Amino acid sequence: MGFADQRFNVNLSILFTELPLLERPAAAAAAGFTAVELWWPWIDTPVPARSERDALRGAIEAAGVRLTGLNLYAGRLPGPDRGALSVPGAESERFRANVEVAAGFAGELGCTALNALYGNRVEGLDPAEQDALALENLTLAARAADRIGAALLIEALNRPESPDYPLVSAAAAVGVVDRVNAATGLGNARFLMDLYHLSVNGEDLPAVIEEHTARTGHVQIADNPGRGAPGTGSLPLEDLLDRLGDAGYAGWIGLEYKPGDRPSAESFAWLPPAARAAR
């Protein structure tokens, strides 16, 4: 198969960050991409002003690209604090306030996936209490996603970079997926298979693909070590994506890598133009 036979989108929260947010959709289109994804763009607030949301929606629509994935509010991201939905108090309330706003914004753009980062463990709190809160909030988010015809994604991160994040294996993330689906009966919670994070955790990636592709709603890639573009590290990404295709995965593959000390547009030489223009 190879890279040319896959569907790629570009994450505008890690690529093209040398540009202001509203200029990034057009830059992605100029690089040949027809689809983009985003972490929650307004880090400081779960409910940005309508004018800010309209400006970003206008930039995406004017560029002619499709928003295929959006993270829900996750606290300070990037940074040491990852996720909000399992953190009691103000962060959990901010997450709840964000759910309908984010789903509404995503739905206006035909987005088909919302990603909910689980939330760090908090010292002094019973992990079971955090897990119960997480299930409650993920159930809320799954129902909001269902109303716009979207999947709710659950992601494993890596322990070295996110030492307090509890989902640091494919099995742990898929376990949450199953609990959310059991709670809602909707079946729209899916695993976000980030090959970079899983490789940093030392997982057997071919085994993960074989076991979990059926529950996978989105894939993200970066090379390891370094979190750079494919070919800058040692991960056999082309082979891994072939395995995903053979296992039946036909969804989007998000480019979530750092471009290095060069403009983002120069980091896509490895990717055939046809794979950037997938619909």
Q: What is the pLDDT of residue 77?
A: 59
Find out whether 228 and 257 touch, Cβ atoms under 8 Å. Answer: yes
What pLDDT was estimated at residue 278? 81
Whether residue 155 lies in the annotated active site = yes
Please pick, among 108, 155, 203, 238, the residue that the annotation labels catalytic: 155
Does residue 256 have an active-site annotation?
yes
- Return the pLDDT at 80: 57
Residues 6+ apart with CB under 8 A from 125: 88
Domain extent at residue 100: 3-276
Which residue among the candidates 37, 91, 203, 256 is catalytic per the annotation?
Answer: 256
* pLDDT beneath 70: ranges in the chain: 1-2, 76-81
Quick check: 85 and 95 in contact, CB under 8 A?
A: yes
Instruction: Note the pLDDT tens digit of each residue in 180-220.
Output: 999 999 999 999 999 999 999 999 999 999 999 999 999 99
The domain that contains 219 carries what CATH number? 3.20.20.150
Supply the pLDDT for residue 82: 77
Distance CA 141, CA 274 (A): 34
Domain total of the chain = 1
The C-alpha atoms of residue 160 and residue 170 are separated, in whole angstroms, by 16
